[in-house]
Amino acid sequence: MKVLVLTMKKRYDRFAPKDSAAYQAAELIFCDRDDSEEDWLAAGGDAEAIFVTPVTWVRESLMERMPNLKMIHSEGVGFDRIDLEAARRRGIYVCNNAGCNAGPVAEQAVMLMSMLLHRILWGHRMVLSGHQGEAVREIEGNVPLDLAAAKVGLVGFGAIGQETAARLRPNGTEVYYYARHRKDEETEKRLGVTYLPLEELTARCDIVSLHLPATAESTHMVDRDFLARMKPGAFLVNTARGAIIDDEALCEAICSGHLAGAGLDAYAPEPVPADHPLVKLAQECPDRLILCPHQAGITLTSFHNVYRMLFENLGKLMAGERPDRVVNGL
């Protein structure tokens, strides 16, 4: 089976499961994700599957010129740049690797929470400028919360949200969550979490952490009204998708002092430009914004999971079976 791969070959050389029958049987055609559709079609227009990074657009114009295409598979969790409806109309499965990076992303979310609470960027800057003693006196005079004393609200409670809750539990953190569908009592008890309606969660928690996919429903969900409901002095953490946040509204909430700060690992658009409002604000308020380059899921554990899951699904397709983690309703 021919697979058009719109990413780096060296990652497959390193991480693909070499003992997988699907890997051994597949003909992988590699193209740069920044090449044109014409380049992709010239190299692999007759492919039956596409493997693509979550930040690469896969439009209807490409699908309609690939007559053999049966599956488009995101290498990550995100799939918002794939035209789901166009694929569904053509009977093309769109799949993702839900859960592949849940542990590492949860680890970074908790790290950002702790850095914000402990004012790590500010402390680092104070030490570099020769003001360690002044920094200690400031902290002693304004003792911050830690994870054991903080109330954390998780918005979205899929694999990453649940892994985040699991990593907060040993700290004794009081954890709340909101999701469209409440989890069963056993799951809530196992993870030590309490369900709250969204409005109540935002008002109660010292940290609100986002764990949602980017959909039409979630786009700019974190708007001025959402931020105004948040507890004064609270922090926002986003390791999900940048489109969930209205960036201008977030900048206003931080500049006004309503929010104490934010830790972010996703932006809209990406790559984030140097004149983006959040980048400019981080330069003006260097102690209140932590900006990461959308790196949380880029770890050894994640990559081993990614390529195992990709070729497991390719094997199902080769066998004429429905693949797992189909996201476009087929």
Q: Which residues are catalytic?
A: 241, 270, 294
d(CA 244, CA 238): 9
> Using only C-alpha atoms, what is the Rg of the chain?
22
| One-letter amino acid of 253 | A
User: Quick one: 159 exposed, middle or buried, by C-beta within 10 A (0-12, 13-18, 19+)?
Assistant: middle
Q: What is the DSSP string of 87-129?
A: HHHTT-EEE--TTTTHHHHHHHHHHHHHHHHTTHHHHHHHHHT
Q: Indicate the helix (H) or strand (E) that contains 312.
A: helix 300-318
- Retrieve residue 187's tokens: 């799951």
227 Cβ partners below 8 Å, 6+ apart? 236, 249, 250, 252, 253, 258, 259
For Cα atoms 312, 184, 153, give the angle at the middle one, nearest 5 degrees: 90
Q: How many C-beta atoms lie closer than 10 Å to residue 315's C-beta?
A: 18
What number of other Cβ atoms are within 10 A of residue 330's Cβ? 16
